[in-house]
Copies of this chain bind each other. A is one copy, B any other.
Amino acid sequence: MATRSGRRPRTRGMVLDRIRAARTISRIELAASSGVTPATITQVVRELMAHELVVEVGRGASTGGKPRTMLQLNPRARYAVGVLFERNTCVVVIVDLTGRQVARTSFPGTTLLPPEEALAQVAARVEALLGTAGVERDRVLGVGLVTYGPQDRRAGVLLTHQPTGAWFGYPVAPRLSELLDLPVLLDNDAAAAAIGEHWLGAARSDTFGCIYMASGIGGGVVLDGQVYRGSSSNGVEIGHITVDLDGGPCDCGNHGCLANYADPTAVIRQAVATPSLGRRLELDPDDPDVMTGFGRIAAAAGAGDPAARALIERSARLLGTAAVTLASLFDLDLIVLAGPSLTVAGPIYRPVVEEEVRRRTFARRAHPVRVITSVSGSDAAAIGGAVLVLQSELAVLELDAPARA
């Protein structure tokens, strides 16, 4: 059936998303929760069933009338790929239509290579993983590539000098799309981590904030199960807000940025400046593998080293300031600490951040703000990248083509 206006894809995508979130739902429940008329729901579900994206599964509990036929997604109907692309580590995941991970691989970051070579390696890894997982190419909706911001998301171009100057202005999404012959969506790693946390179940709420710390500090906000976008999907940059009016310039263009006092690079710099600690942990401030150095400091802190513990707690206190600002601006009642650095050091960070938020958030008398730690390490961002593909128009645009065999 042809689409006569721009509205049908939006409704189809919304219906798919609601079935995915509910796992099992009736048509009546879909209509009631979405505000779309039952007649439209019936018609959209018919189209989704014709393409085998949705299947009927038994009957739900009756509420007095006739039993309701329940709907589920057909997990193997489509797949999406998520790629987390950063300085130290790349993670590739494949998820099915329900968002469940079916394959995963990771490899050392390739981002110090020239873009052309780095992307060729990523493409080879994606191809290999699709092969290993036995996923047919024509069932892959596309790839969600998540990495540093700022970005021109629509053009698929990076507007950052991270990890090297060669990436600034580079058409990373179009180029990977050519290499893989698949659609590629570019997105922010922290925004993807936020939706990934939602999906992996760490954040059961539909609305929450996420502070993501890998080698740097980013953030994401999920509102009603969708990533907060703002005008260009470059928001929630919680690492690049001024916390020191007299602070020095940051690479981002601002000054006195929180990240320069609190992120793993800053913690390593502070540890190296603490001579006995830097020597004891064999820290090299010029080692691009920030995660390993930070991991050593966090492990020493966890083992009771007072100097290491003081540095990690100082970083945690600063992340508490970031959490207070995020909660006071977006009025959140849940903050998830995510990303590999906060997974490693979560037991120290979480209680400190929670205490700051409890004491300092503007709306604390209106409602509490919970702080929880993710257990997903780097994977939330990659899974979020794949989920953003499932939530995108890619999931429904092709329905206007003839149904597949």
Contacts and interface: CB of A to CB of B under 8 A. Distances in A.
B231 A362 contact: no
A308 interface: no
Interface in A199-235: 207, 219, 229-235
Size category of the binding interface on chain A = 35 or more
A149 interface: yes
Interface string A359-385: 111111111000000000000000000
A128 interface: no
Nearest to A8: B35
B360 A324 contact: no
Interface in A136-189: 149-152, 159
Contacts of A240: 328, 362
A330 interface: yes
A333 B234 CA distance: 11
A32 B7 CA distance: 8
A360 B229 CA distance: 20
A11 to B, nearest CB: 7
Instruction: Determine the main DSSP class of A at the interface with B.
Output: loop
A26 interface: no
B237 A328 contact: yes
Given A32-B5, A245-B261, A253-B360, A367 B330 contact: no
Contacts of A330: 230, 235, 329
Contact of A234 (B5, B254, B366): B366
A329 B235 contact: yes
A59 interface: no
A366 B245 contact: no
A391 interface: no
A242 B35 CA distance: 41
Interface string A285-319: 00000000000000000000000000000000010
A237 B362 contact: yes
Contact of A236 (B329, B332, B333): B329
A238 B331 contact: no
Given A240-B328, A360-B254, A150 B230 contact: no
Contact of A331 (B234, B252, B366): B234
A112 interface: no
Contacts of A23: none
A318 B236 contact: no
Contacts of A103: none
A168 B321 CA distance: 26
Contacts of A11: 35
Interface of A: 5, 7, 10-11, 32, 35, 37, 39-40, 149-152, 159, 207, 219, 229-238, 240-245, 252-256, 261, 318, 321, 324-326, 328-333, 359-367
18 contacts: A149-B362, A150-B362, A207-B230, A207-B231, A232-B331, A232-B366, A234-B362, A241-B241, A241-B328, A242-B324, A243-B243, A243-B245, A253-B359, A253-B360, A253-B364, A254-B324, A254-B362, A325-B329
